[in-house]
Amino acid sequence: MEICKEFLLIGEKAKKAARQLAFASTEAKNRSLLAMAQALVDNQAEILKANAIDVQRAEEKGLRKSLINRLRLTSNAILEMSNAIREVVNLPDPVGSGEFWTRPNGLKIQKTRVPLGVVAMIYEARPNVTVDAAALCLKSGNACILRGGSEAIESNIVLARIISEAAERSGSPAGSIQLVELTDREYALQLMRMNKYIDVIIPRGGAGLIQAVIENSTVPVIETGTGVCHAFVDKDADLAKAVEIVFNAKTQKPGVCNALETLLVHQDIAQEYLPLIGKKFKDYGVEIRGCAKVQSILEYAFPAEEDDWATEYLDLIISVKVVSDLDEALDHIYRYSTKHSEVIITENYTTAQRFLNEVDAAAVYVNASTRFTDGGRFGYGAEIGISTQKLHARGPMALPELTTIKYIIYGENHIVT
């Protein structure tokens, strides 16, 4: 596939910027980040005006309410984006950190963290990703090329321009933050082939987007996860806790990857627990798709199909299954999990420890909502995505995950004999 001239220019600018950013001091990078944070607040009227166009188009297209909510910005949301950048400023700079040791022959070896180089992101409807990704890449010494979805294009154009101009005014090289304004799929495919300019590509969005990038990219990919997240309510659970945790994990923000999608309930407490959580879901408008046992207890539950167990709804829908014991719960999670976030609700220490040890996921919880799988809530300031793979990075990807390793060796006429 031939890369269009506009993309080649973007790649060249990013490569040149990355070379300069690799040597930028922490103070210089923080100065640019603070300028970006202030610029968002100063230009919120322009941002909201552009976002209103995106929201109106989304409503006219009939997009799901949950997707529109992810797209919509408010003054408070802009302030939160600004504050997230300020939190990144306060985080340690990973570049240059590492280890140092001396070999018996006197050879001195330093293992140090260095930027990845040029990071490309392909993502969907959430415009805050534009800001989070740019801030994390800049602090870790990387240039970034951002390609958001068509749903948020007006918002992303304004956001990217505001923060990139602020960064350049404060001393960052031109090309440090660039947005691809062409949203046709063919241009995303071109981005995936730009090995000469891009060091890593990170997809962030639904299963279809992530799979398309994995299948088509010749640039190395860090896979961020779809979240078919499970909660298992054990027979030894505190049912009041189980109601609050499960309800929060499903409804606090249903359109995100760390929202709960499947509820597993131990058969010994199903008759008592399901009516409690079922009523709370029903009153809130959550559609329940259950197995036969669930339907026998909750007459308003719809039958669950096989596909439901593997579906990331990103909506007010949940699949529910009664299981005979911990083993069946573990087997179900092993089969259907996307290895994002899983939780057990129990007061039994031994059961909890077995769940923690045997579940293979980026984040595994006891008695806490899956909604905590987030860079900010983990204390990282922001995240560029939640990695569900095992190579290079796993879980919330923050500053250290946007660096790699270089070995620096000091010798004094050392030769191999």
* 355: its two tokens: 């769940």
Please name the residue that has the structure tokens 């040791």.
101
DSSP state of 221: B
Contacts (Cβ under 8 Å, ≥6 apart) of 297? 270, 271, 274, 275, 278
Pairing of strands 287-290, 386-387: unpaired
Angle at CA of residue 243, ends 242 and 246, nearest 5°: 75
3-state secondary structure of 153: helix
How far is CA 189 from each of CA 1, 122, 299, 325, 358, rounded to the nearest angstrom?
9, 10, 47, 46, 38
**Would you give the end-to-end CA distance of the chain in angstroms?**
49
Contacts (Cβ under 8 Å, ≥6 apart) of 402? 94, 115, 116, 119, 136, 137, 140, 142, 384
How far is CA 223 from each of CA 183, 184, 261, 338, 372, rounded to the nearest angstrom?
21, 22, 20, 11, 20
Cα distance between residue 373 and residue 13, in whole Å: 34
* 13: its two tokens: 């600018």
Nearest to 204 by CA among 190, 219, 221, 180: 221
DSSP state of 300: T
Q: Answer whether 137's CB lies under 8 Å from 144's CB.
A: yes
Contacts (Cβ under 8 Å, ≥6 apart) of 256? 70, 227, 314, 371
Question: Along the chain (417 residues), what's the average pLDDT of each consecutive run of 10 residues?
Answer: 82 97 97 98 98 95 84 95 93 95 96 97 88 96 95 96 98 97 86 94 86 92 87 98 98 91 98 98 97 97 96 94 98 96 98 97 96 86 80 85 95 91
Which pTM value belongs to this model? 0.86
**CA 383 distance to own-chain centroid:** 6
- How is 23-75 classified by DSSP, letter by letter? T--HHHHHHHHHHHHHHHHHTHHHHHHHHHHHHHHHHHHT--HHHHHHH---H
CB atoms near residue 79 (< 10 Å):
14
Q: In what order do the strands lie in the sheet with 363-366?
A: 302-303, 287-290, 317-323, 260-266, 229-233, 341-345, 363-366
Provide the pLDDT for residue 145: 97
Provide the pLDDT for residue 66: 75
* 271: its two tokens: 């008759």
Provide the pLDDT for residue 380: 79
Cα distance between residue 374 and residue 370, in whole Å: 9
Pairing of strands 317-323, 260-266: parallel
Range 20-26, long-range pairs (CB < 8 A, 24+ positions): 20/173, 21/115, 21/138, 21/141, 21/142, 21/143, 21/172, 21/173, 21/176, 22/95, 22/114, 22/115, 22/117, 22/141, 24/141, 24/172, 26/93, 26/95
Instruction: Enumerate domains of the chain plus CATH numbers.
Output: 5-224+397-410 (3.40.605.10), 229-372 (3.40.309.10)
